[in-house]
Every structure is written in structure tokens, then in C-alpha cells.
Chain A
Amino acid sequence: MSQPPLLQVDQLKVSFKTHMGPLQAVRDVSFAIYPGESVAIVGESGSGKSVAAKAIIGLLSDPGVTIDGRILLNEENLLEKSEKEMQKIRGNQIGMIFQDPMTSLNPTMRVGKQILEVIHKHAKSSFKESKQQAIQLLQEVGLSDPEKRFEQYPHELSGGMRQRVLIAIALACTPKLLIADEPTTALDVTIQAQILAQMKAIQHKNQMSILLITHDLGIVAGMCDRVIVMYGGMIVETASVEDIYHSPFHPYTQGLLNSIPRVDKEESDLTPIPGAPPHLLDLPAGCPFTERCPFAMRMCPSHRPALFVIKPFQQAACWLHKKNP
């Protein structure tokens, strides 16, 4: 890829102050997203995936949070921006969809007004124009009867419809980057399939990049070009979507794939990963996966592996790369 990246995250570290000392939720995370690309961050709860996303759009500004590193959007460092400047960037250049459509909308405000608010904030257009734009957006995200939806309150809509409204809000200013944090986790499978198809169509139309954050390896396979696997606040593997599923390198990625059943294959036994994810306050000095790793060696608990190049476009943070070159 010869283009410069749209978003470049460089050595991102996020830690929270707690009673029991600093909690490192994100540790030295670096990655880039190119224009028009879909990238997935996959991880379990506590892997740091949502915290990384929130750091990117500047929603972690509490006094107890320390953020280090660089987040470059079009070569401008977002971490040096003031809150006022960030407000212009959010919505305009980066759109975000959250997991829970039930709580992300204002229950006392009509759906239409919530979309208009975003359009007005970022573009100077007349009420009539904005309303037309809002209704068109609602139609674009697949809502039937958009004029009626415009006048309704969130409680009158189902979960799937609310998620569509949130997507419409996120897309209102045609952002270049859409961050979707578990966008379909709360929805039924048939609705999930509809919404993902819609998101892909809009991405294609607007030439938008997507950062999809999820724990579901199934939806990643159909949606994304590249995958970043996070564990214990670190990136443990990053590769093209084909490599992640067909030749995963890191034992954690392999373990994850072995522990999900497949509907298209005849039964084979599931091999779960033993144990549980590490507590972020009590991370080992070395590789965070050591305790659960079937291949752990003597050096693993004490030496933290960096991301090693396994082959072009595939990197893994695992000492095993030395064993089979």
C-alpha cells in the first residue's frame, strides 16, 4: 500500500489509577488503518479493545487516566488536541457506534432531532435541507418508512431499528473512519446479517474505513480485510483475515479458533483454552498468555515477546517464532 495511512496508532499505552495501583488496560499498541480498509480488533472482555477505541476518539479524559503514545489521524496527533478541537473531529472525521442500542440514544428526544443535532453541529445547512438529509440517511441504513421514524421516540423502535438509527447518526457527516464497538452483539442473527450487509454497502459507497471491535470471529471473516488479536492489553497477532483463519501463528489465536464450533462442518470435538484471562492488575512480566499456553517455555513468564514478523503482513508476539523459522 503506497497511500499514507488514515489512522496510525503508535505505542499507545492507557492506564487507569485504581486503589490497587495502576491498571494497564492497553500496553504498547501500534497499528495503522488505510483508506477504505476494514480492520477488526478481536479480543475477550478485558483485552483492552474497547479502551483502545475510546482512546482514539478521545473519550478517555478523566483525571485518573494516563494516555501515552501517538494517535495520528491524517498525520495529526489527536492526543495533542483540545477538547474543543476533538469535538469537531468526532462525528466529522470519525464516527462511532456503540454496543448497546438501548442506552446510546436519548430516550426523551425524537429520533429525527437526534440526527439533526449532529448535522447542525457540523454543517451549516437550513432546517429543510438537514431534515431531507436525515430522512435520506434513515433510508440508507435500511429503515422502512423513514418519515415516520423521524418523528418517533427511541422506545417505539426495536433493538435492530435503534442500532440503524445510531449508524445513521454516526454516518451523518460522512466520516472517513467508522469505529464500531460490538455493533451487533445485542441483536438477533437475522438482524445482525442485515445490518452488517448495510454497513458494507455504505462503506463501499462512501469509501470509508471501518475499525470493527468484536469478540465474534464469525462476523470478522465476512466483514474485514485485516485482523488484530488482543490479549491482556497487548496485540498478540495481526495478519490478513485469510492468514488469521487459515494459518494462525499465536497459540491464543489458534486456541480461539479451536474453541468455536462451526455450523458448516461435521462435528469435531471442541478444544477449549484452559484457565481464564489474566487480571490486568496482576499481569505477568512476560507473555500474558503464558499460564494458558500449551507451548509455554521457560523464558515465557519472564520475557515479554515483541511483535515478530512471521511472514509479510503477519506478525505475532510469541517466542515460538524462533523455533520454526
Chain B
Amino acid sequence: MTQKPLLSLQNVSKQFPIGKKVLTAVDGFSLDIYPGETVGLVGESGSGKSTVGRLSLYLQKPTTGSVLFDGFDLSLLSSREIRKMRRRFQMIFQDPYASLNPRMTVQDTIGEAFDIHKLVSKKQREEKIVELLESVGLDQSHLSRFPHEFSGGQRQRIGIARALAVEPGFIVCDEPISALDVSIRAQIINLLKKLQKEKGLTYLFIAHDLSMIKYLSDRVAVMYLGHLVELASSQELYSKPLHPYTQALLASIPIPDPVIEKKRERILLQGEAQNSSNSSVGCPFQHRCPFAQAICKEKKPLFEEVTPGHFAACHFAKNWL
């Protein structure tokens, strides 16, 4: 792509102190996100995917590395400039029950964003709020209601309207559907797709539901214990995964079809993800990898482009081609 990336994470690491030890949540993570695309970020709990989401909005400062938004290095900006910049990137949270203030009406929740950034005059305020509500499938009658009067799906719609209020270009969606009922999930996903088309939004979509990620994303990034292990276009990643971890993840997804499911042979991973606080030498996946060799224990594989646009961090990635 010759386009300039909208968001660029360059060799970003984030460490958290735990007592005397240090936990490396994200380790040398680099990713460019281009305008108008949806990048899906998958990984198991503790893989650092939510931390990457927070780092890319500069809600947390990286320990090393830099975050560039539209060419500006966020670490060089003053906090006032950052706040101005925040208008352009927003977040949709996982839990629609916890992310809305229970004592504020819908009108106030959405209007607050207008007030902080002084976006609309008092006269236009209500009109604008109604317009936003309508774009997410709610209406005027919901204006003066409180969050507890809504169902989970409706609350998530309010959360989306709130994020859209400042007209951002980039939105991080951190597991926006995992707290919702199955029949409601597709409604929210289709709404996010529709809004992207209408407003030209760019998404970083964090989830552990691999089927949903495939449906929604243009490119998919897979994380394991703070490392980016594979990155490719959605179609490529699901048809030709090059990293053994991605392969195992895909094999673990249950398919809603009994005939396929009963015939399926799967490689089940052994064991569980080790805590990354004792970051050792070699590949982070070596302990669970069914194909681990001597070199995997000694040398950390580089994150390399194996075929055009398809990156993987595995010594043997080429063997799968």
C-alpha cells in the first residue's frame, strides 16, 4: 500500500511492574493501520491485545517505542494537544453495563462529548444528538432515559453513538459484542459495518471470537503472550495460516455444523500459555508448539514478510507454503 498509515505502532513495548518483578504485556509490537480498513486483533486472555488497544489511543504510554497518529508522534505532544487529538480517535468498550454512567441520561452522555470539545452550539445540541441516535438505530424517545432502562444491545448502541459524537476517524472496538446475546451480536456488527461505510471509519477490532473477526476484518493480527506472531489479509490468514499458534487457534474454533464437526481432525494444543513475566530466550510459543525444534529454544524468530502482505514470526513459516 502506498497510502500513509493512519495509525502506526512502532516497536512498542509495555511493561507493568508487579512487586519486584516486571510483566511484559506487549513486546516489540509494530503495526500500521491504513485509513478505511478494519484490522482484527485476536489472541487469548493475557496475550496483550487490550493493552495494544489502549496503547494505540495513548490511554497508556508505551514503555519503549512510539505511537504515530496521522504522522504525529503522540509522545511529543503536550497533554492539551493530546486531548485535541483524542477527538479523532475513540473507543467502544466491552461491557455496555459498566461503560455508561448510570446517573446520566442518554442525552447527557452523548452531549458531554459535544461540550468538552465545544463542537455544537446549544441550539443545535439536541438536534445533533437525535441525529446520532437515529444513525445507531435509536430515536428521540430515548433522549431522557437512563442506562438501566435499556437492554444490553441498546446500551452498546448508545456507547457507539457516544464514540461517534466527536466525529472520529479511528475507533478501537475492544470486544464490543462478547457481553451480548447471540441474536443481538449480528445487529451490532452490521451496525458497525454500516457506519464504517457511511463515515469512512477505520477500526481496530479486538476480539477472541475468530469467526466474527473473519467476517468483519480486512486484515487480521494474531498475538501470543505480548508478541505479534502473524499478520495477513483476512482471507489469507484463515486459508493459509503460517504460524503454528494460528493453526491451532483455527483448529479449536467450533464449527456450527455437526457433519463437518464430527469428521474434523484437530491438533489440540497441550498445556496453557505461560506467564510472560519470566521472558525467556527463544520463541514465546516454544512450550506449546507441536513442531518445536532446537533452534526455537535458542533464537527468537523474527517477524518477517513470508509472502507479500503475509507476515509471521516462526523459523519454519516457509515450510507451510
Residues of A within 8 A of B (CB): 44-45, 144, 158-161, 188-194, 196-197, 215-222, 241-242, 245-246, 255-264, 267, 269-274, 276-277, 292
Complex Cα–Cα for A23 and B313 (A): 55
Picked from A44, A188, A246, the residue with its CB within 8 Å of the CB of B183 is A44
Q: List 16 A-B contacts (CB under 8 A).
A: A190-B268, A191-B44, A193-B266, A215-B181, A221-B254, A222-B262, A258-B186, A259-B183, A260-B256, A263-B238, A263-B250, A264-B255, A272-B183, A273-B187, A276-B153, A277-B183
Contacts of A191 in B (CB 8 A): 44, 272
Q: Is the CB of A189 within 8 A of B252?
A: yes
Encoded as 1 (CB less than 8 Å from any A CB) or 0, chain B from 99 to 121 comes to 00000000000000000000000
Contacts of A274 in B (CB 8 A): 187
Instruction: Tell me which residues from 249 to 294 in chain B have a Cβ below 8 Å from any Cβ of chain A.
Output: 249-262, 264, 266, 268-269, 271-272
A-binding segment of B73-81, B208-216, B300-308:
B208-216
3 A-B pairs with least C-beta separation: A218-B254, A272-B186, A259-B186
Q: What is the minimal beta-carbon distance from A259 to any residue of chain B, in angstroms?
A: 4
Q: What is the minimal beta-carbon distance from B41 to any residue of chain A, in angstroms?
A: 15
Residues of B within 8 A of A (CB): 44-45, 151, 153-154, 181-187, 189-190, 208, 210-212, 214-215, 238, 248-262, 264, 266, 268-269, 271-272
Contacts of B238 in A (CB 8 A): 263
Smallest CB gap from A270: residue in B: B186
Contacts of A144 in B (CB 8 A): 271
Q: Is the CB of A190 within 8 A of B183?
A: no
Complex Cα–Cα for A161 and B272 (A): 9
Q: Is the CB of A222 within 8 A of B182?
A: no
Contacts of B253 in A (CB 8 A): 189, 218, 263
Q: Is the CB of A260 within 8 A of B211?
A: yes
Picked from B45, B211, B269, B271, the residue with its CB within 8 Å of the CB of A262 is B211
Picked from A215, A222, A255, A261, the residue with its CB within 8 Å of the CB of B215 is A261
Contacts of B190 in A (CB 8 A): 269-270, 272
Complex Cα–Cα for A45 and B249 (A): 27
Q: Is the CB of B182 within 8 A of A256?
A: yes
Q: Is the CB of B258 within 8 A of A217?
A: no
Q: Is the CB of B259 within 8 A of A242?
A: yes
Q: What is the minimal beta-carbon distance from A261 to any residue of chain B, in angstroms?
A: 4
Q: Is the CB of A219 within 8 A of B254?
A: yes
Picked from B181, B250, B258, the residue with its CB within 8 Å of the CB of A45 is B181
Picked from B210, B258, B266, B269, the residue with its CB within 8 Å of the CB of A242 is B258
Q: What is the minimal beta-carbon distance from A161 to any residue of chain B, in angstroms?
A: 7
Known A190-B252, A242-B258, A257-B256; 12 more pairs at CB < 8 Å: A44-B181, A45-B181, A188-B44, A189-B210, A191-B272, A193-B268, A218-B256, A221-B257, A221-B258, A246-B257, A260-B185, A260-B186
Contacts of A222 in B (CB 8 A): 254-255, 258, 261-262, 264
